[in-house]
Structure 1
Amino acid sequence: MSVATAACHAASLTDWQNLLAVIWDFLSLSLFSLGGGNTLLNEYHYLAVDKYCWLSSQQFAEIYAIAEAAPGPSSMIVGLLGMGAAYREGPLWGVLSGVLAEIAILLPSTSLMVVAALSWNRFKESPFRHAFERALGPITLGVLFAVGLKILRISDHDTPAYAVSLVVCGLMLRTKISPLWFMAFAALLGGLGLVNR
């Protein structure tokens, strides 16, 4: 835990002004999350752990794991972060905060994507469209690589965990083994106490 995180005090969300500030943070990030919830993982971590001190890095990693394991969009992490932000204030406040955070992150980006999808076919033959679509590939890979590094840094805390992460990464790149097998193997190692996060 960093010095900044250790000195951090969780922002109270019983004050509507603070809740609205949190909602505004997610609204302002919404248009940058067009690639999915994972594209803003670094910013989510900054808000939840460093700026507002709702969660520790370990709790953030656990919430990320829950959001990724559950069916549905990866932006589900925002609702969980919203709940994590206000759980100290009671269950109803936690649910309200989670729902409002999720609406704030989804509404602007979803609206923009609906408008874009409805008009995108007009540019079917445009060289701009083809160049734009080709340019998104490397950008997406870069974002996913950055997300992977962030999760590795906040969740792996011992040498065996780093080793397991590197082996899984290598196998994922070189084989066609389903990621579910890797998840099951990692869960078994954790359950046996061989790897601690």
Structure 2
Amino acid sequence: MPPLIWVSPSTHLLTTAQACTPASLSDLGTLLRVIGEFLSLSLFSLGGGNTLLAEYHHLSVEQFCWLTNAQFADLYALAEAAPGPSSMIVGLLGLGAAQREGPFWALLSAYGAECAILLPSTLLMVLACLGWQRFRTSPWRVSFERGLGPITLGILFAVGLKILHTADNNPPGVVVSVVVCVLMLRTRISPLWFMAVAGVLGGFGLINR
């Protein structure tokens, strides 16, 4: 019987990180597989693109190893700060995923991923809207809409926890995140103020990742 060897969690994580090789998107087969992954996710984006954030993190950080946790958090912050839909993060993920292969593959990956996440869900919503008015007096429609509300909120709450775990690695950052969360739930203060204060704290080095 071979001797038992205990491996600490930190050693295991280090070994896993070293063994994780980024998937090359200059390989057409890999690129098509990535586009296929986003195509399949598109039909499950209930409540907007942010509801799929945990799966985006799994694909880009854990499965294909394109990005680190810090890079993923930076791209999420950039997508949220920029004007436009929350699904913009998918294009940024595609851009970051193929940055090693050069500008051509990076742009091809970005546009391919963005089209893949938007096209199926958009077509589905158009079809749903065309037929939704037919059931405007049906009790099934009311029940369906009420049922989706708690589901979407639960998914968004889970996404918030994922971002908190990904972006905040120091106690001050966690404290600021918790305080902002409480104030957002209990007050009507504009989120822009929280973003401004957090930016100032980060600029002075009081909080960091």
Query: Do the two structures share a fold, i.e. TM-score over 0.5?
Result: yes
Residue in structure 2 matched with residue 74 of structure 1 by the alignment: 86
Matches within 5 A, 1:40-189: 40-189=52-201
How many Å separate the matches in 2 of 1:85 and 1:68?
19
- Structure 2: 5+ residue stretches without partners: 1-9
- In the TM superposition, residue 93 of structure 1 has moved relative to its aligned partner by 1.1
How many Å separate the matches in 1 of 2:96 and 2:163?
18
The secondary structure found in structure 2 opposite 1:33 is: coil
RMSD: 1.1
How many Å separate the matches in 2 of 1:21 and 1:193?
41
- In the TM superposition, residue 140 of structure 1 has moved relative to its aligned partner by 1.3
How many Å separate the matches in 2 of 1:35 and 1:185?
28
Q: Which residue identity does 1:70 align to in structure 2?
A: A
Structure 1 stretch displaced more, 136-145 or 183-192: 136-145
- Structure 1: 5+ residue stretches without partners: none
Q: Which residue identity does 1:103 align to in structure 2?
A: C
The secondary structure found in structure 2 opposite 1:189 is: helix
The secondary structure found in structure 2 opposite 1:74 is: coil
Q: How big is each residue's C-alpha offset from its partner over 1:110-130, in whole Å with a ceiling of 9 and x where there is no partner? A: 000000011100001111000
Q: Which residue identity does 1:60 align to in structure 2?
A: F
The secondary structure found in structure 1 opposite 2:47 is: coil
Number of residue pairs matched?
Answer: 197
Using the size of structure 2 for normalisation, the TM-score is 0.92
Contact 1:39 1:144 in 2 (8 A): yes
How many Å separate the matches in 2 of 1:175 and 1:7?
46
- In the TM superposition, residue 16 of structure 1 has moved relative to its aligned partner by 0.5
- In the TM superposition, residue 5 of structure 1 has moved relative to its aligned partner by 3.3
- In the TM superposition, residue 137 of structure 1 has moved relative to its aligned partner by 1.2
The secondary structure found in structure 2 opposite 1:73 is: coil
Residue in structure 1 matched with residue 26 of structure 2 by the alignment: 14
Q: Which residue identity does 2:102 align to in structure 1?
A: G
